[in-house]
Structure 1
């Protein structure tokens, strides 16, 4: 309750018509406190909402969907946006906590003149390229991929029949059953829980290619079906549980393996664009084939199932910076973050 001081005074008696006559109140209220200011209080920067009119959890859900290439401009909006977007680790930690995942194509490439290796990353949602810090290794190197090891060459250039698998729990490599054939594998795929390894075809095709199939449950290798190994003439991906191969000797056409007839069926659609030149690195994302060629030219093949055994592929080109022209892909992998 506000205290007031009440005062009373008698107005002088004046005659009607007097020019000096004034109408004064009988009582005058004098407040003991000054009137409050009408200006709104300023909130500290850290208490301002991320997006005015939205709860912070809804606003955060929106900001975590911003493409990485837009972060530089968005950091200038306010201190809270800068705090969220300036640190990539913090940004992706929030995305992971909210269950947001986007596909990224990580390509390990080496410069064909200097031999230096580097990582290039393609955001498969916005199709924008990004760079990540270099690997702590020697200046000159020629990497040979990563993952499970089967076959290969020994230090004295003899083909091997050994195979090893990585134990992810203990972080150690463990030997598995011998392949039963000395071969330097060129491609492999996992179909139906079994590992298929082929040495591929090589011009001038004097010998038939060899291939082995590993059953992890029985820890046993067996020979690959003849039709499968004869037609495995390129790099493979597995889509819809089927084995697809981009042939290196048939104008880069795509074909799919039919296990019932032990044969390869052509996939409808145009061949891969001619600007994609070997060496290639191939990976897949759901029903898409992602191919990286020399100069890190990338095309995405959209595979569509037309019937129970017929497929169609359409190719989409991805823009690549001119600075990548001297880079050659060694391997690529699609990860989600």
Structure 2
């Protein structure tokens, strides 16, 4: 076998390859069979993380700005959008690097639709040494019909592929999160607006779905979170309640293949939507927005939520919250519904009892409405 890089010892050559930017990996793996094997090996991703080279990113489902907002080079999106001369509910996947303030648009989806589905769910699965973004369900942006589609983006290939469709009823507004390399789905409602208890698991590596035991309760509009090695489903409401959210939660343990209650008195306040609830990766600390404030809960056993900071006025109508492992929290919103989108990054001052907001400016071509966000490390 020839050298990884001619003239360099193997360990030095490997140190060079491990420092390649994630956006260059699709090119690197095409250079040679050796390089392809190297970057696709689980050891490669572990080495990047061990040397502090993995990048903390926020993935956003973001509306394509109009040509008036972002200039004449804006992609027109689907055929229906082109016919009307504008994006018309055209969404795309965008990556935000909070440390560098860099914004990057991923390729459009395969097929004629191209747009990310409305109200879809996105999870970041990490299996076999490969990081993948998985887009599940949502509504067709042209017809607003519920979809059971699955799209998988592989950061090593730099391309999307169609996955096996989600089985069962075409559900909307369900809980979704990845635990390791598996994506979990639970609850939501069917096309007749009946709240669901059923749950599923998707393996992007095998491109296969597995039915899970039902939850104890019907949960429409719940929030899905990864907490440790469990899939946590927070809040939601049964069919008869119609929007009256409960604060209880259920946790699925993959090792036991069973559900269990998280807390009898609930994780979020009764009546509050858990839509903005998120968990700091690798911990049990949770954040969410409540009454114009960012609040936190330091683990499932904490007695109550504590106020961290008031949300800035121009982000008060916040749509998404994402927590990073280093303690930063990214809040995206606007002054009012339909207003100009703003991005803020907050860092709690440990031991100082305070928090500092910093606005992260977005270029005009990334000024569109953000429908969903999540943390991932590449």
- The alignment's TM-score, normalised by the length of structure 1, stands at 0.62
Structure 2 residue matching 1:181: 3-state secondary structure: coil
Structure 2 residue matching 1:264: 3-state secondary structure: coil
Q: CA deviation at 1:61?
A: 5.0
- 1:317 matched to 2:359: yes
- C-alpha distance in structure 1 between counterparts of 2:353 and 2:225, whole Å: 19
Match 1:142 to one of 97, 112, 118: 118
Q: Is the 8 A contact 2:324 2:375 kept in 1?
A: yes
Q: CA deviation at 1:218?
A: 2.6
Q: CA deviation at 1:114?
A: 0.8
Match 1:120 to one of 88, 94, 97: 94
- 1:303 matched to 2:348: yes
Q: Is the 8 A contact 1:258 1:265 kept in 2?
A: no
Q: CA deviation at 1:66?
A: 8.4
Structure 2 residue matching 1:109: 3-state secondary structure: strand
- 1:161 matched to 2:197: yes
- Match for residue 257 of structure 2? 219
Q: CA deviation at 1:320?
A: 0.7
Q: CA deviation at 1:154?
A: 1.1
Q: Is the 8 A contact 2:59 2:375 kept in 1?
A: yes
- C-alpha distance in structure 2 between counterparts of 1:260 and 1:218, whole Å: 22
Q: Is the 8 A contact 1:280 1:329 kept in 2?
A: yes
- Match for residue 229 of structure 2? 193
- 1:245 matched to 2:284: no
- 1:104 matched to 2:146: no
- The alignment's TM-score, normalised by the length of structure 2, stands at 0.56
- C-alpha distance in structure 1 between counterparts of 2:357 and 2:324, whole Å: 13
Q: From the superposition, tell whether residues 142 and 63 of structure 1 become closer, same or farther in structure 2 (CA, over 3 Å).
A: closer
Q: From the superposition, tell whether residues 166 and 213 of structure 1 become closer, same or farther in structure 2 (CA, over 3 Å).
A: same
Q: From the superposition, tell whether residues 224 and 111 of structure 1 become closer, same or farther in structure 2 (CA, over 3 Å).
A: same
- C-alpha distance in structure 1 between counterparts of 2:371 and 2:27, whole Å: 27
Structure 2 residue matching 1:153: 3-state secondary structure: coil
Q: Any idea what the Cα deviations from partners look like across 1:82-118, whole Å, max 9, x if unmatched?
A: xxx8x97239998966834323322122348611121
- C-alpha distance in structure 1 between counterparts of 2:376 and 2:301, whole Å: 33
- Match for residue 41 of structure 1? none
Q: Is the 8 A contact 1:236 1:243 kept in 2?
A: no
Q: CA deviation at 1:149?
A: 0.4
Structure 2 residue matching 1:221: 3-state secondary structure: strand
Structure 1 residue matching 2:190: 3-state secondary structure: coil
- 1:254 matched to 2:295: yes
- C-alpha distance in structure 2 between counterparts of 1:63 and 1:161, whole Å: 44
- C-alpha distance in structure 1 between counterparts of 2:229 and 2:18, whole Å: 39
- C-alpha distance in structure 1 between counterparts of 2:61 and 2:226, whole Å: 22
Q: Any idea what the Cα deviations from partners look like across 1:179-228, whole Å, max 9, x if unmatched?
A: 02111143122334333212359x99856444322233332223342142
- 1:184 matched to 2:220: yes
Q: CA deviation at 1:272?
A: 2.5
Segments of structure 1 that go 5 or more residues without pairing to the other structure are 1-56, 69-84
Q: Is the 8 A contact 1:287 1:304 kept in 2?
A: no
Q: Is the 8 A contact 2:56 2:324 kept in 1?
A: no
- 1:280 matched to 2:320: yes
Match 2:277 to one of 204, 228, 236: 236
- C-alpha distance in structure 1 between counterparts of 2:213 and 2:17, whole Å: 51
Number of aligned pairs? 260
Q: Is the 8 A contact 1:285 1:334 kept in 2?
A: no
Q: From the superposition, tell whether residues 271 and 171 of structure 1 become closer, same or farther in structure 2 (CA, over 3 Å).
A: same
- Match for residue 38 of structure 1? none
Q: CA deviation at 1:250?
A: 1.8
